[in-house]
Structure formats: structure tokens, C-alpha cells
Structure 1
Amino acid sequence: MKGQEFYQADAVAEAYEDKRFSRGGRLIDRREKEAVLEALSPLQDRRILEIACGTGRFTVMLAERDADIVGLDISQAMLSQGREKAKRAGVTDRLDFMRGDAARLPFPDNHFDAVFAMRFFHLADTPQAFLTEMARVSKDLVFFDTFNARSARSVYNWALPMGSRLYEDSEVTELIAGADLELEAVTDDFVLPYGLYRKIPDWMADGLRDLDTAATDGSVGESLATVSYWTARHS
């Protein structure tokens, strides 16, 4: 798994959200949370597992909306940040954080109503193994995102600290079928690269987002989208 050692560092975990979700990056945070809520709702009393939960950005949000949620991550440093966030939000009674390997999930079959992963599959060295494990422990829904091979990200991917695994749509649909899931929906988003949003102030990001959304609504924009959100279910 790419980044396994990188994300273990306390300094990386402490700076993670400020680095990615400050300035115009707040818009990306809002959009990703919106995508998760759209896919997983209704949430009340549903048992949910988040793979690679990191600092608890989604885990805490879902617990605040009355989901019973487990957040799993390989990095103890990231989990520590998540636990602190949960305490501040007052939702420690609705969630558990666990350190574990996403390729060997410590749960029985069909244990959760839904399993999801965000910002995970671009680091996956064996994506089929990970998705198959997610499907195994979910009785119904599996939701995840991917960075796309034909996007602007492919231009500068080599310059990123760990790079990213970039996916063609056909590859992801094969992964879904290989996990004995059926694709329910896919949404393409963000023609412009994430890094651009993070470098500009909020007010400028909102205007840029309007242009970005208009571009994504067209067939050409969809084919060049940076990210895709995939919703799959057991048949």
C-alpha cells in the first residue's frame, strides 16, 4: 500500500487536513462529504464501516448524524487525530476507531449495512483484494472513489510524493464485478485538479467551481473528470 509509512508520522497526521482542506480546499471537503451523505443516507442506526478513515473527517460527520460507525486505518497517528475530533464533537458513544489492514478486515461476512472508502483506491496496490474484502463485510452497499486516468491529474501525477493509481472506467467496472457487486451509479466530478483549488482563497474557489461544474455536465467534461464516485450493491 502506497503511503503506509508516510501517514504513520505524527507531523503528517497533524497537518493532513490543514494542508488539503484549507483555503479553496474547503470546497473539496464539502463536496466529498456531500457525496458520502448522498450515497449512504438514511443513516440513523445504520452500521457503517469506513476504510482508511484517516483523521475521522467522514467518520465523525456520520456519527453526528446517528450512524453507528467503525473507522479503520493503518496509521495510529491518523487515528489519534480522529479520536480527538470525536471527543470534541461529543460522538464517542457512536463510533469506534480501529487500527487494521483493509486487505484482511477483522469482521464477519455481512457485518455492516454499508462500507465505504474515500481517497483510498489511488494508493491501493491490490485494488481487487481490497474491494472484495469491503464487499464481503457489507450486506448491502459499497461506496468508493477513484482518480481517473484521463484527467488533469495524469499530467502532474509523477510529481506527487507517492503518485496515484489512476483508473479507466472499464477497470473499475471489472473490479466491481470481480467483487460480486453490481454497479448502481457513478458520478464524475472536478475537471480542474484539486491542487489548483487548494492554492486559491474560498471566494475564488466558488467561482471556479461554477465553471468546473458546467464543464463536467458535458460529455467531454465527464471523460476528463478528476474523480469518480462509485456506488455498488450486492445483487
Structure 2
Amino acid sequence: MKGQEWYQASDVAEEYDEKRFSRGGQLIDRREKRAVLEALGPVEDKRVLEIACGTGRFTVMLADRGADIVGLDISSAMLQEGREKARDAGVDDHLEFMRGDAARLPFPDDHFDAVFAMRFFHLADTPAKFLSEMARVSKNQVFFDTFNDTSTRSIYNWLLPMGSRLYSDDEVRDLVTGANLRLAGAEHDFVLPYGLYRKLPDWLANSLRSADTSLGRTRVGDALASVSYWDARV
């Protein structure tokens, strides 16, 4: 995994949400949460696993909606932030945070109704292995996002400290097929890269987002989108 040591640092975990989801990053947070909720649907009493749960943004949100959820991450520091977030939200008694390796999930086959991962596959060195493990422990649904190789992100990707793995549409479809999954749906979004939004005040980011969304609805929107959300079935 790219950045494995970086993500395990305490100072990185403590500042993670503030650096990425404040200012214009708030709209990214809202969009990603909407993508997860729309994909998973009603989650009450569903058994759900989040891979690379980080500080628990999605884990806590789904626990609050009644999911029986486990958040797995390799970073103890990130998990500690998640536990504090769960306590603050009053849901710490009905979710579980677990340290573990996504390449060797400590669960039996078909253990969860749904398994998802957000902001994970751009760091994956062996994406086929990770996706196969997600498919193995899910009895119904696998949901994940990718950063795309035809997007504006490719222009500045080499400047990023860890870079990102960028995917073509065909590569993702091959990964899904290789994991014995069936693609049920895909959404493509954010013509402008995340990094630009995070540098702007929220009001300006929202204005820019309106233009971004309009462009995304055009014929070239999907081809230029920097992020894709993939919904697959076992």
C-alpha cells in the first residue's frame, strides 16, 4: 500500500479530517457520503464492512443509521480518531473498529451483506487482490471508488507526495470481472480535482461545483470525470 507509514502517524490522523474536509472539502465529504448512502440503500440491521475506514466518517454515519458495521484499517492512529468520533456521536456501543490488512481479511466467506471502500484503491499496489478479498467476504454487494486516468488529476498527480494509482474504465471492469463480481452501476463525477476544492472557501467551492456539475452532465463529462463510484454484486 502506498503511504502506509504516513497514514499511521498520529499527527496525520489528528489533522486528517480538518485538512481534507473543511473549507471547500465539505462538499467533497457530502458528495462521498451521498454516494455511499445511495449505493447501500437502507442499512438498518445490515451487516456491513468498511475497508480502510480511516477516521470513521462513513462507519459512524452508517452506525447512526442502524447498520451492524465493522470499520477496518491498518492505522491504529486513524482508528483511535474513529473511536472518538463514534463516542461523540453516541454510537460507540454498536459498531466495531478493527486493525487489519485488507489483503487478508479476518472474516469467513459471505460474512457481510455489503463491503465498501472509499479513497482506498488509488493507494492499492495489488488492487485485484484487495477486490477479490472484498468479494469473498460479501454475500451481496461491493462498492468502491477510483481516480481516473483521463481526468485532470493526471496533470498534477506526479506532484503529490504519494501519487495516486489512476484507473481506466476498462481496467476497473476487468478487476470487477476478475473478482467474480457483476457490475450493477457506475457514476462518474468531479471534472475538477479534489485538491482544487480543498484550497477554496466553502462558498466559492460551491459556486465552482455548480459549473463542474453542469460540465459533468455533458457528453464529455464522464470521460473527464476524476472520480468514479462502482457498484458491484456478487
TM-score class, shorter: over 0.9
- Alpha-carbon distance, 1:219 to partner: 2.1
- 2:142 and 2:93 mapped to 1: Cα distance? 24
- 1:10 and 1:197 mapped to 2: Cα distance? 25
- 1:151 and 1:49 mapped to 2: Cα distance? 29
Matches within 5 A, 1:1-235: 1-234=1-234
Gaps of 5+ in 1: none
- Alpha-carbon distance, 1:41 to partner: 1.2
- Normalised to the residue count of structure 1, the TM-score between the two structures is 0.99
- Give the residue type in structure 2 aligned to 1:195: G
- Give the residue type in structure 2 aligned to 1:210: S
- 1:167 and 1:85 mapped to 2: Cα distance? 32
Q: Deviations over 1:63-119 (max 9, x none)?
A: 000001000000000000000000010101221000000000000000000000000
Q: Deviations over 1:32-51 (max 9, x none)?
A: 00000000111100000000
RMSD (CA atoms): 0.5
Q: Percent identity?
A: 73
- Normalised to the residue count of structure 2, the TM-score between the two structures is 0.99
Q: Helix, strand or coil: the match of 1:55?
A: coil
How many residue pairs align between the two structures? 234
- 1:6 and 1:158 mapped to 2: Cα distance? 18
- Give the residue type in structure 2 aligned to 1:102: A
Q: Deviations over 1:116-163 (max 9, x none)?
A: 000000000000000000000000000000000011110000010100
Q: Helix, strand or coil: the match of 1:170?
A: helix
- 1:75 and 1:22 mapped to 2: Cα distance? 22
- 1:90 and 1:204 mapped to 2: Cα distance? 33
Q: Deviations over 1:156-203 (max 9, x none)?
A: 000101000000000000000000000000000000011111111111
- 1:204 and 1:5 mapped to 2: Cα distance? 34
- 1:112 and 1:92 mapped to 2: Cα distance? 20
Gaps of 5+ in 2: none
- 1:42 and 1:132 mapped to 2: Cα distance? 25
Q: Which runs of 4+ in 1 moved over 3 A?
A: none
- 2:40 and 2:159 mapped to 1: Cα distance? 34
- 1:94 and 1:64 mapped to 2: Cα distance? 9
- 1:195 and 1:175 mapped to 2: Cα distance? 27
- 2:126 and 2:69 mapped to 1: Cα distance? 25
- 1:195 and 1:210 mapped to 2: Cα distance? 17
Q: Deviations over 1:204-227 (max 9, x none)?
A: 111111111111111211101010
- 2:44 and 2:221 mapped to 1: Cα distance? 35
